Structure 1
Amino acid sequence: MTGPVVVGVDGSSACMAAAWWAAREAVDRHAPLHLVHSWTSQPLDVPISQDAHSERLYGREVLRRTEAELLHRHGDLAVTTDLVAAPAAQALLARGGDAELLVLGSRGHGSVAGFLLGSTALRVVGLTRCPAVVVRADDPTVGAGRDRLVAADRDEVVVGVPEPGPAAEALLEFAFATADAHGDLLRAVTVVPGSPGPRAEEERRAWLAAELAPWREKYPKVTVAERVAVGPAAQLLLTSCGRSRLLIVGRRPHPSHLVWKLGPVAHAAVRHAACPVAVVPHG
């Protein structure tokens, strides 16, 4: 059985954009959608109440209103809700164990906020065991309202393919499945390591083709474009996202479940990509 798409909601515009994106993704993946609200973790623009009962009432209303909005658009979507007392990060990490995706809202470039604030959101992205997607409130791939959920010119999925090994396998599995679910072109980008030259670029191109081959066979309907380039990995990925509905990057494992540091490429992508960003744990 497919795991749910889990999204944190708090009534903010950032989390509403994330909920719209998560609902569309759940429909395309034939997965249920699970809405989570932590009544002890209110957004910045909601007055702080000393009354726990009022905060719980607010949380129930956020969940009710969000569910109604999503079902109005997707009548056959399976939606469940969860009002929790645990801190937002703890609640989402607990539910990410058996989730297909974990979706977080962001207020915009430079800061991740909404359902989670500041470094707390980055901690969730850095610790969750499933792919985590960050969606900005002003994301150009998410239309305002019910009439335009995804911009018409956003018809690609971009994945940064790292060095050979478990990282590449995990990223390509997620990337091909995502592109297949949406009928999008998959753009696979890799960077030439070391001192570049014509031979190094040719070797890297041959390596990328070999890495993609088994996934092309498994997902024959996915059209793939390959890009082998020289330069900073983060910059090359960001400049490849002009038509992307999703940028996919990897996250290295950490020896401790308490460590959540993101690598420079994933961090730059979450901060600056002009589309939602999926951070995929590997290893």
Structure 2
Amino acid sequence: MNQRIVVGLDGSTESVAAAHWAAREALLRNAPLHLVHAEEWFSPLNIPAARSDLRRQWAQALLLEASKELMEKHPRLDISTESFDGQPADSLTSATASAGMLVLGSRGLGTLKGFVLGSVGMAVIHAVEEPVVLVRATEDALPHAERRHLDRDVVVGVDIGRPCDALLAFAFDEASRRGCTLHALHSWMLPPLAGSGSAYNPEANAQIAQSMRTGLDDMLKPWRDRYPGVSLDAQVMVGHTSEQLLETGSEAGLVVVGRRLRRSSIGTHIGPIAHAILHHSTAPVAVIAHE
């Protein structure tokens, strides 16, 4: 059996949508589903201890209700629950250490499309090396959207100048399980305007584009051979990577982006492309940590 999928529940509509998305994913992977609620309990001197007991009872009721709802929808699903008393980010990180995936809900940016990545979500993405999927409470994530989980394609952004094995392994496996098309996208920018006017030289730009296509084909060949049943659409596009990914993934079932593993506490842990996709994608987003 595959590693379990962990879902963070906090009672919000978004976390419930994440649980339903994760349940469908668990069935695809023949994996158990683990529902987790984490909260740090404070008991100031002027607040009775019973107040904390009530909150713990609420947490248990939340997990029980979510578990029952998912079991009614998916009777074959193996579901377990766990409530943590402590920092949510630390608890979710600990729960994900032996898991295959963590799924979190995220609210939208007001009237804008995309995600609001709160402090807990940001801290968890920084800390874990397992795939983290962010899900919004959109029509695609609601309980009745089971077919849409399978019908829509997977989009992955790759950089042919860097190793992308972890991203491609996840993306090809996901597309294979769903039986959908995988869109692998590499974007490049026109060279800056120079004295020779190279940015507007059609022949030079065509050569660069062909070189990019060759590089992308070479990167994808081992994965084509490993997953011959996956329908692959490889594209080299001119423009900002984040903009191209957002456009290509606007109707996708999942957008896959990478983040570089950083062993140092100094500097950002989520690159600008992943950050932009997380904040503006209308589709669920999988963040894959890789070297």
Letter in 2 for 1:161: V
Residue 186 of structure 1 pairs with residue 182 of structure 2? yes
Confirm whether residue 149 of structure 1 aligns to residue 146 of structure 2. yes
CA offsets, 1:169-221, max 9 Å, x none? 11100000010111110000001256271111111111111111111111111
Partner Cα distance (1:81, 1:258) in 2: 35
* Contact 1:22 1:33 (8 Å CA) reproduced: yes
Structure 1 residue runs of 5 or longer lacking an equivalent are: 43-48
> Is the counterpart of residue 159 in structure 1 residue 183 in structure 2?
no
Is residue 127–residue 259 contact of structure 1 (8 Å, CA) maintained in 2? Answer: no
Aligned-pair Cα RMSD in Å: 2.2
State the partner residue of 2:31: 31
Q: Which of the two has greater helix per residue?
A: 2
Structure 2 unmatched runs, 5+: 43-48, 192-198, 200-204
In the alignment, which residue of structure 1 is the partner of 2:238? 230
1:12 corresponding residue in structure 2: 12
The residue that corresponds to 2:46 in the other structure is none
Secondary structure class of the residue paired with 1:61? helix
- Kept in 1, the 8 Å contact 2:115–2:278? The answer is no
Name the structure 2 match of 1:200.
208
AA partner of residue 246 (structure 2) = L
Q: 2 CA distance for matches of 1:230 and 1:111?
A: 26
Cα 1:190/1:165, change in 2 over 3 Å: same
Contact 1:127–1:260 (CA<8 Å) still a contact in 2?
A: no
The alpha-carbon deviation at position 86 of structure 1 amounts to 1.8
Give the Å deviation of 1:224: 0.3
**Equivalent position amino acid for 1:159 in 2:** V
How many residue pairs get matched?
269
Partner of 1:112: 116
Q: Deviations over 1:208-241 (max 9, x none)?
A: 1111111111111110001101111100100001
Query: Does structure 2 conserve the Cα–Cα contact (< 8 Å) formed by 1:153 and 1:243?
Result: no
Comparing 182-191 with 256-265, which one deviates more in the overlay?
256-265
Q: Select the structure of larger CA radius of gyration.
A: 2
TM-score with structure 2 setting the length: 0.86
Letter aligned with residue 232 of structure 2: V
Q: Distance in 1 between matches of 2:66 and 2:33?
A: 12
Q: CA shift at 1:150, angstroms? A: 4.7
Contact 1:112 1:121 in 2 (8 A): no
